[in-house]
Every structure is written in structure tokens, then in C-alpha cells.
Structure 1
Amino acid sequence: MSNKEEQVGEAVPASQRGSWTSFLKSMTSFSGDLSSMTAPPFILSPVSLTEFPAYWCERPELFAAIADGKTEEDRAQAVLRWFISTLKGQYTSRNESMGSEKKPLNPVLGELFYGVWPGSKASPGVTTLLVEQVSHHPPITAYRIENKEKGLVLTGHSAQRTSFSAGSIVVRQVGHAVLTIGGSEEYLITLPRLRIDGLWYGSPYIELCETSYIAASTGYLSTIEYKGKGYFSGKSHSFKATLAPPSGKGQPTAVEGLWHVSSKTSKGVPFHDVTTPKEEVTVADIQEQEPFESRRLWSAVAKGIRSGDFETASKEKTIIENEQRQRRRDEAAAGTKWELKHFKHIDSDPVYERLGKLFKANPPTEDFYEFLGNAPEIKVPAA
């Protein structure tokens, strides 16, 4: 037996080691998308993937500050700063709070998540969040974040294509987001690729890799390169970003550091810092939520996972999944199709086609989910 095999399950609960080993062996021979595989319950997160867009705005003061930029360059820098600040929550928060990366619950078609950041002196204006699961196979999540007072709107969608390679899970994030300032200035934001390492120890963690972009309608382009241990700084979660102005409008700005901690510009000026407290999104009490709202839908599963009662969690999860399958069978028999509540699918996004030319986007076009303009009233909690 190899050393790697001897180490399998070091961080895995004793009762789960057999299922974890079987899961790893299944992955090595699985040829499809790994998201369709059933993971051992101890590695599941008590949170559905529909909640993940909330990570875009854990620091609503940085989101609000984008609109305060006096110049095109100021705003492009503010967008880059805000985007880098979102990465910690999206890709390392489970490691820090739960001991390792966890597989989020796979949302059902039509699942919803509504939230709000009430606003403060540091973060003026109410910021709202609306999320809808617009596809189940493959899983696609559409979202919209808006701060009306500051004239900021972020609309996007994300999906994952997963495969197993060289002992790691490789995740290609499909989709993009468009940030609009004042209804006119636009920013196309692409998503980084992920590599999930640490599987053999039962302690998965995420490294970002390759390159993502932020392309502005003003001509500014941020190119963000991600590297893990052994590259730029020899540390995990390293990145280098270059903000390039349009031709003839000055010199590029370089930023380097650790995206889950802090970074500086090439002149040594602090650029971003996510070691300070974040602001959680506020949601309605579970009793007040609609049946398809995420926390109400998965409440029994989440309770089982958090308490370590994996048998109950698995049972409740199976009930939800069987109901989902039956709903699709009923629709097929009736010749009907599930109607989306807040979004409409469009085959190609003109913003992606136009701004993607700044970095020679490949593919040159992508589909999109257009918001229908029917946001529910999201109540701001009393101070």
C-alpha cells in the first residue's frame, strides 16, 4: 500500500472512513461531471449553493464605494478591490469555520434565496440580494445584487463543470457577472477556475488557478492571475493583478498579495484587507419564508449535518431529491415546463460579446439570465 493510501481518512470521522475511501475510488474512475455524485454526508455543507452569491457582498461598504470613484480609473480600481475582497468568503470560509471545504447542497430547480444588507454610515444605502436556481441539470444559479441609492446593480449566473485529475478535483466555473454603475458604465466579470486539493486526507481545500478578468466599458481591464503554494510567493492563495488603462491613458497598476488576507500595489500601498469583520446577509425567519426558499427547504437537512446526525440528514435530503424527480416526471407527463420566477434565459449576452473583446474571451459569447424586474419586497430589519 502506498503512503498516500495509508494517509487516506486521517481527518475523516472513524464512522465515515469506509464511505470516504469508496467515494475517492469512485471519483478516480468516474467519467462524467462529479457534481452528480453523492458525497459522504460528513463532507456536506449545511448550506445550499443558492446562498453562495451572498459572498459577493459580505463587505457592502466596498461594494457601495464603487460608485464614489471620481474618475474612470478610480472606479475601475474600486471594482477590482471589491472583487478581490469577495474571494475569501467564496473560497476559504468553509475551511476556516468547518475545518475543511464542504460540498454545498445541490439546489432544486426554482429554489430561492432573498437577503438584505441594511446599510450603515460605512455602507450607505440598502443592498438587496435575489437568487434563483434556474437549472438543476446542470446546476445553474442566477443572482442579482442591487444598491439603489448608489446606482449599483450586479447580475450574473454561475455553474460548475467538475472533473478529477492528478488527485485533485478541478472545477471550471461557467458563467459571468455584469456590474452596472449608474445605469451606463458596465463591468464584465469572469470567474476563476478552482482546484480542490487535500482529498486524500479527508480535508479538502480550494486553490484558485489560471486567470480571470474584469473588463470595463470605459476600456480599463483587470487581469487577475491566481497561483497556489510554490509559485509567486510560495504561499497558498497568491494572486497578481494588473489594471491596464485604455491606450494613451496612463500606466498599468499592479497589485500582489494573498487574496484571503491582504495585498499591496507595486508602490507598496495597501490595496485590500479582509482580516476585518465581515457583514452577514440578513434573511427572513424560516417560518416567514416561502416553501422554496433555501433555508426553509433545507432546514431539516442542515440541522442534521450541524448536529452530526448524518442519518437524518441523508434521509431528509433523499426526500427532497425524490420530490424533485417526481416533479420533473409530472411535468414531462403533462407536457409542461418549469417556469422561472425572476429570470429569463437568453442565448447570448451582448455585454459579454462587446467587453470580452478586451481580453479575447474564449468562448467569444456566453448565455445569460436576464432579470425580469419583479423583485419581491425585502424588508429591512429594524435597527
Structure 2
Amino acid sequence: MEIGIDKPKQVIGGENIQGWNSEERKVVEVVLTKPLMVAAGDDSGDVEYRTPNLVQRVLSLFKNVRPGSDLTSFQLPPSFNYPKSELQAYGEMVYCAGKDILGECGGAGDPLERFTRVVVWSISTNRPAIFGVVPYNPVLGETHHVSARSLNVRLEQVSHHPPVTALHATDHRHGVNMLWFQRPVPKFQGTRVEVEVQGKRTLKLVEHGETYVMNSPNMTIRFIPPAVDWTGTVKVSCRETGYEAELNYPTSSFFLGRRSSSKHSVTGKIYKTSSPPAASPPPGKCNNNMHSTVKIRDPNGGGERVIYNAKEVASKLKAPILKDPQSVLPSESASVWSEVSRGILSRDWEKAKEAKRAVEEKQREMAKARKSRGEVWVPKYFTPSNNGGDDPYEYSPIEKLVPPAPIVVPF
């Protein structure tokens, strides 16, 4: 006698993230804000998001949190949020740049130069963060779809426990195909928060048949004195050419209250497997922030040259615009959090608090309803790679190419 086991029903994410019907979809509203910027020489960040007694308020949040505690599910009031979801913040690292660094990766005829440009792109994604404010934690099934030049980018929150974001970007014109899977794991360490960023990025240059694999740096948030730094080691590799790179983001040190020269710096080398370094150090020790340059040493003794100018990346950045309102999904980040963002931008903290509570409560109700019906959430645009458990946060895109988005970045 065989006993049958019913498989859980699957619920596809995307349009019904908030339980809206097709008629309600016609009135989807979005709030789009300018890309995050950091004022030159000011670690406190954009004045638009600064609040009085910020350090004191931040420390008060953690007074009952033990060192070593996982902050993944830690809830922040809207006064500590800037008006963007984490999906939008990740996406801006890819599509918000005054110079098309990603598109240029496949333009060089020399393999070493292509590899160097990929390293430059990796560095360009690590924009300075703003101390004391963070983006919204994405809800399950939330999406973000934006086009910039010929690049189309789509993100989806594919898991909530643990929180995992998947990004797929394609540029048919330049032959670029990118996947980015990210899981931040923040832990409280007494005087700082250490954020381990798990997952990987895979960048394919289709015309050259090359695949570049890299990880993300971690982030350290210090309370006294207040500072946010990218830290740790990033490794970039290309199996087809044999080139590899190691980029080190040192933790800033303090002496007598003064910041060391390691602030926002990156050092490293490019080398070929089983051979001497091809270029050392690329980028030589120098600042990597919104108003600095990164240099590389010519392996043939030709001196140093600038490979990255942060001002070019940060210049002429504008807020995305809504090009096709009828095509925006209710799951779009700018729609899901629109009322919260309106409250933050108008400094109506009570309105923002109520709107944020409504979004989070709706997600809890939907999760409870799925559980009662025996349903399992399935991402709309990605599927688990089933790679034997080596990387549980890796997904495959369902579509080969990301289509043009209803939200575009003007240049």
C-alpha cells in the first residue's frame, strides 16, 4: 500500500505582492528619488537625511542588544531610513553612473585591459554609505526594474528568511550579462556593526566568451567616532584568461581622534595564475570615494595611470523617471514603499511610521495565509540553481534577457 504525500502548492511572486487586483494596478503610484550621494569631504553623508543627535540616537537603539547578536530582523523606525528600498540601493550601484563603466568592460581588445576594466567596475559599485540611515528591508517578492542607456536591470527579493536579493542585468548592445546574489548578515559588536555580505557576482562578456566571478566587500559601521567603511577582501577571477585580482579594503584606524589615510582606500594586485603579478598594485593605495581617483602601475615599467575617476561616476546623476506608468508592477520597490517615502521626504514621521507598519503587517498576514493553505512562495523572475548546496543563495534568471523597464535613468 502506498501513501501519497501532497506537495505544497506554489505561489508565484510579483504582481500580487500586496494582494491588489488588476483594477487597482492601474493606479499604482511610485516615489523616485535621486541617487545617494556623499558630500565631498563629509562622512556624515547627504544633509537631506541627517537628523539631530544622530550618534546618541543610534546608540540608544542597541542598548538592549548583546554583542554578537544577528541584526537581520532588527526593526528600525522610519527616521533611520532614507527613502529607498535596499533593492533600489543595490540597483543604483549598477545603473547609476555618469560614465558607462559596465558597458566599456567588453570594449577592449586586450584580455588584461578587459580584466582591468572589470576590476574598475567592481570598485565603482562600492559607493560610500551614509552613517545613521539605511534603506528599507525589502519584503518578500518585492521587485525593482530600471533601464539606463542600453542596460536593463531587474532585482527581486527571492527570500525573506534569510534575506536574499537577486539581480539580473543585461546589455545587448555591449554583450554584457550579469547576475548578482547578495545576503547581508549584520551583527552587533558593541562599538560597531559588522555586516558580512554573502553571495557572489558573475559578469559575462558574451562576445569574448569570458566569465568574471567576484564577491562583495563587507561593511563596518562604527559608532564612535561615526564612520562607515567597506572592509575585507574582494577576489575577481576569469577562468578563460587566467587573470585574477585581489582587492583589499582596510578598516580605518584612529589615532588621537584623527582618521588615518586608509579612509575609503583600496589596495591590491592583478596577476595571472601561476605567474608573477601582471599589474601591481592596481589600484595603488589611494582613496576610493566619491571624489578621488584610483591608479594602476604599468607592468612594463611605464609608470602609473588613472583607471578610475570617481567624479566621472558620480557626476550628472539624476533621479530615475517614470516612462510607462501602466507597466509598473505593484511589487515595484518605488510603489511598495511610496507612502513611507512620502512621509520621510515631508518629515512627517508619524505618517511614515504608520505606512511602514502597514507594509510589514501586510507581509506578515500574507505569510500566515500561505502557511495555512500549505503554499510555498516561488520567485517570479528567478529559480534556485540547485547546485548541491555549495552556494545556497545562488539563483538562475528565468528570462535570458531583461526587457526594457518602465522606469528609466536619464543622462
The alignment's TM-score, normalised by the length of structure 2, stands at: 0.75
Segment drifting more, 78-87 vs 320-329? 78-87
Q: What is the letter of the counterpart of residue 258 of structure 1?
A: N
Q: Name the residue aligned to 1:211.
A: 233
How much has 1:287 moved relative to structure 2? 4.8
Residue 378 of structure 1: CA displacement? 2.3
* 1:372 match: 398
Contact 1:116 1:127 in 2 (8 A): yes
2:60 equivalent to 1:22: yes
Provide the rounded CA distance (Å) in 2 between the counterparts of 1:227 and 1:337. 42
Partner Cα separation in structure 1 for residue 132 and residue 102 of structure 2: 26
Counterparts of 1:323-342 in structure 2, within 5 Å, are: 323-342=362-381
Q: Which of 22, 47, 70 is the aligned partner of 2:109?
A: 70
Question: 1:226 is matched with which residue?
Answer: 249
1:48: which partner in 2? 85
Aligned partner of 1:169 among 166, 190, 193: 193
- Three-state SS of the structure 2 residue aligned to 1:55 is helix
Q: Of the two structures, which has the highest relative contact order with CA contacts closer than 8 Å and spacing of 6 or more?
A: 2
1:192 paired residue among 217, 223, 227: 217
The answer to whether the Cα contact below 8 Å between 2:238 and 2:244 also exists between their aligned partners in 1 is yes
Distance 1:369 1:17 in 2: 38
| Root-mean-square deviation (Å) | 2.8
CA distance in 2, matches of 1:250, 1:31: 38
1:41 Cα deviation from its structure 2 partner: 2.7
CA deviations 1:11-57 (Å, max 9, x no partner) are 8536x898645312023x26542131122332112100111222123
Question: Which residue of the other structure, out of 266, 271, 281, is the alignment partner of 1:239?
Answer: 266
| CA 1:323–1:40: 2 relative to 1, 3 Å | closer
Given candidates 137, 152, 157, the residue that maps to 1:128 is 152
Q: Which of residues 90, 107, 114 is equivalent to 2:138? A: 107
Q: CA deviation at 1:263?
A: 1.4
Q: Within 2, Cα distance between the matches of 1:278 and 1:144?
A: 25
Residues 1:314 and 1:245: Cα distance change in structure 2 (over 3 Å): same
TM-aligned CA deviation for residue 286 of structure 1: 8.9
Q: Distance in 1 between matches of 2:344 and 2:324?
A: 17
Output the CA distance in 1 between the equivalents of 2:176 and 2:357: 40
Higher-helix-fraction structure: 1
Following superposition, the deviation at residue 246 of structure 1 comes to 3.1
Matches within 5 A, 1:141-156: 141-156=165-180
| C-alpha contact (below 8 Å) 2:199/2:391 kept by paired residues | no
Report the residue type matching 1:48 in the other structure.
S
Partner of residue 58, structure 1 = 96
| Deviation of the 1:285 alpha carbon | 5.7
CA deviation string 1:109-167 (max 9, x = no partner): 1101010112xxxxxxx111111110112211100111101110111111111111140
Whether the aligned pair in 2 keeps the contact of 1:151 and 1:181 (CA below 8 Å) is yes
Amino acid at match of 1:45: Y
The answer to whether 1:258 aligns with 2:287 is yes
Size of the aligned set, in residue pairs, is 340
Counterpart in the other structure of 1:345: 384
- Aligned counterparts of 1:252 and 1:309: Cα–Cα separation in 2: 52
1:85-131: CA deviation from partner (whole Å, max 9, x where unpaired): 2212xx33xx3xxxx3422101111101010112xxxxxxx111111
Question: Does the 8 Å CA contact 1:101/1:206 hold for their aligned counterparts?
Answer: no
| CA positional deviation for 1:262 | 1.4
Q: CA deviation at 1:250?
A: 6.8
Alignment of 1:6-17 (within 5 A): 13=52
2:178 maps to amino acid: L
Q: 1:30 to 1:167 in 2, by over 3 A?
A: closer
- Residue 205 (structure 1) shift: 3.5
Letter of the 1:210 counterpart: G
SS of 1:292's partner is: coil
Percent identity between matched residues is: 22
Change (3 A) 1:23 1:171: same
- Secondary structure of the residue aligned to 1:304 is helix
